Amino acid sequence: MTETAELTQLQQARREPPIEHPDVLAWLAEAQRLFAEAEERFEAGRVLSALSSLAAVPPLHSMLIDRFSGIVITTDPTAPEESDERDFSPGLYL
What gap in Å lies between CA 46 and CA 64, rounded to an integer?
Answer: 28
Q: Report if pTM > 0.85.
A: no
> Which residues, at least 6 apart from 30, have a Cβ–Cβ distance to it below 8 Å?
60
pLDDT, residue 69, reads 84
**Domain boundaries, given as residue ranges, for the chain:** 21-75
Walk along the chain (94 residues) and give the pLDDT tens digit of each residue: 567 666 665 555 555 555 677 888 899 999 999 999 999 999 999 999 999 999 999 999 999 998 888 877 766 566 555 555 555 555 544 4
Q: Which residues of 7-45 are buried (b: 16+ CB within 10 A; e: fewer)?
A: eeeeeeeeeeeeeeeeebeebeeebeebeebbeebeeee
